[in-house]
Amino acid sequence: MPDLCSCITCGDEAVALKVLEVDDTGLARCEDEAGERTDIEVALIGAVGPGDSVLAHAGTAIAKLAAVAA
């Protein structure tokens, strides 16, 4: 039975990231819960901005996450 929490192609899991900034080329500088920063491609999910949360896999944002009410 395949692991339904990971990609069937590469085995990686998607990671929730917070967008810090977006440049003109469609790359977003993001940060994970541990404070590690990475740049990801965001063209597949449309407009995002600082403070948005995204789900990323293999260096690409695959979904924009809904804001959680406090």
CATH number for position 35: 2.30.30.140
pLDDT of 20 over the 60 cut: yes
- Compute the radius of gyration of the chain from its Cα atoms: 13
Helix (H), strand (E), coil (C) string for 5-68: CCCCCCCCCCEEEEEEEECCCCEEEEECCCCCEEEEECHHHCCCCCCCEEEEECCEEEEEECCC
Domain contains 20: yes
Which residue would you say has higher pLDDT here, 52 or 3?
52
pLDDT over threshold 50, residue 1: no
- The predicted-structure confidence for 27-48, as pLDDT tens digits, reads as follows 999 999 999 999 999 999 989 9
In a domain, 9, yes or no: no
Residue ranges making up the domain that contains 26: 15-65
> Residue 61 in contact with residue 48, Cβ under 8 Å?
yes
Number of structural domains found in the chain: 1
* Residue 43 φ then ψ, to 5°: -60, -30
pLDDT of residue 10: 63
Mean pLDDT score, 43-60: 93
